[in-house]
Amino acid sequence: MLKIGDIEMKNPVVLAPMAGVCNSAFRLTVKEFGAGLVCAEMVSDKAILNNNKRTLDMLYMDEREKPLSLQIFGGEKSTLVEAAKYVDENTNADIIDINMGCPVPKITKVDAGAKWLLDPNKIHEMVYAVAQNVSKPVTVKMRLGWDDDHIYVVDNAKAVEAAGGKAVAVHGRTRYQMYEGKSDWSWIKEVKNQVSIPVIGNGDVETPQDAKRMLDETGCDGVMIGRAALGNPWMIYRTVKYLESGVLMPEPEAREKIDVCLLHLDRLIDLKNEHVAVMEMRKHAAWYLKGLKGTALVRNQINEVSTRTQMVEVLTTYVNEVEGKMKATQAL
């Protein structure tokens, strides 16, 4: 069973910390589908220390989400440590995670995220400083390296362990790959062979079978699911069940998808306000509709709504039409 420090998960399935997605409304929904651990989207150390309201709001968590990992990023030791201390003392998060994988230029240009991957010594220095100043377990999420010529993932993972990090999540792509190309799981296996702390594998886990294959091929302790869970918390549920029993649960029907989508919407409204929530929910609704038939029109309609009532009407009308057609077909 996956255990990070003294925090024990009920299963090895972990929701990845996706920026712009993993707020409390989404995390709680995924948690209810069985995730062993959910991770909050990354927040800036400096924004925490500057008391940025939007950032501090992102630190909110519902007790039902626990255990939860809260991720911070930054490029300077002093501010990263102070932000970690703030999270340690002022949030209910169980784990403090340090981002070493974000590949976007606005993060790397401030010596944060994936920029750390070029210097194992800096990784040790920064992780050690954080771990010495907080009571919660400290973990790191990293990529293989900056590019194919600079893959230091084994040395970097060893640095995390030596510095007191309690686990490392490895995304099997380089910074140069961004989110394209193939995730190389062989490096995840190599990291697992070289460190004694838990290793969580990440990258190209699109089905429950992929999750089992990653665990089997790499020997990793946990499997992290990101984009495959967007609009699809059933991916988490189906993966947990498949790992437990080998039984592949069926995909959800349209009605079930829409019901959960609307639950997600209402949680987002409670978390933010109706206008902001509906604007954000447009992309989520499109993800929930993925894989369903005849969604071209409803996708266009979703991008025009601005109120909860409109969103509910569009999605309810769609699913009623889907079910009506199914009944008509069955009656023939």
SS3 percent helix, strand, coil of the chain, rounded to 5, is: 50, 15, 35
User: Closest by alpha carbon to 80, among 94, 95, 99, 57?
Assistant: 99
User: Whole-number mean pLDDT of the chain?
Assistant: 95
Under 8 Å between Cβ of 56 and 24 = no
pLDDT at 179 over 90: no
At how many degrees (to 10) do helices 77-90 and 120-131 cross?
40
Residues 6+ apart with CB under 8 A from 192: 199, 218, 219, 220, 221
Under 8 Å between Cβ of 157 and 195 = yes
Percent of the chain topping pLDDT 90: 87
User: For residue range 76-121, what is the model confidence (pLDDT) as tens digits?
Assistant: 999 999 999 999 999 999 999 999 988 888 899 888 888 989 999 9
**Three-state SS at 69:** strand
User: For residue range 35-71, what is the model confidence (pLDDT) as tens digits?
Assistant: 999 999 999 999 999 999 999 999 999 999 999 999 9
Higher pLDDT, residue 19 or 325: 19
At how many degrees (to 10) do helices 234-245 and 208-218 cross?
50
Lowest mean pLDDT among 105-109, 138-142, 155-159: 105-109
For the annotated catalytic residues, the residue numbers are 102
Please state the rounded mean pLDDT for residues 189-207.
98
Using CA atoms, how far apart are residues 150 and 37, in angstroms rounded to an integer?
30
User: Closest by alpha carbon to 73, among 35, 46, 104?
Assistant: 46
Q: What is the pLDDT of residue 331?
A: 61
Question: What pTM value is reported for the model?
Answer: 0.94
List the Cα angle 117/122/126 in 5-degree steps.
110
Please state the rounded mean pLDDT for residues 182-194.
97
Please state the rounded mean pLDDT for residues 280-294.
95
Neighbours of 250 (CB within 10 A): 7
pLDDT at 239 over 80: yes
Q: Which helix (H) or strand (E) holds 97?
A: strand 95-100
What are the CA-CA distances from residue 252 to residues 97, 152, 232, 237, 291 (Å)?
A: 32, 41, 9, 11, 10
Q: Which helix (H) or strand (E) holds 197?
A: none
Please state the rounded mean pLDDT for residues 284-307.
94
Please report the sign of the dihedral spanned by the C-alpha atoms of residue 215, residue 221, residue 227, residue 233: positive
Q: What is the pLDDT of residue 181?
A: 84
The two beta strands, 13-15 and 138-143, are unpaired
Amino acid at residue number 201: G
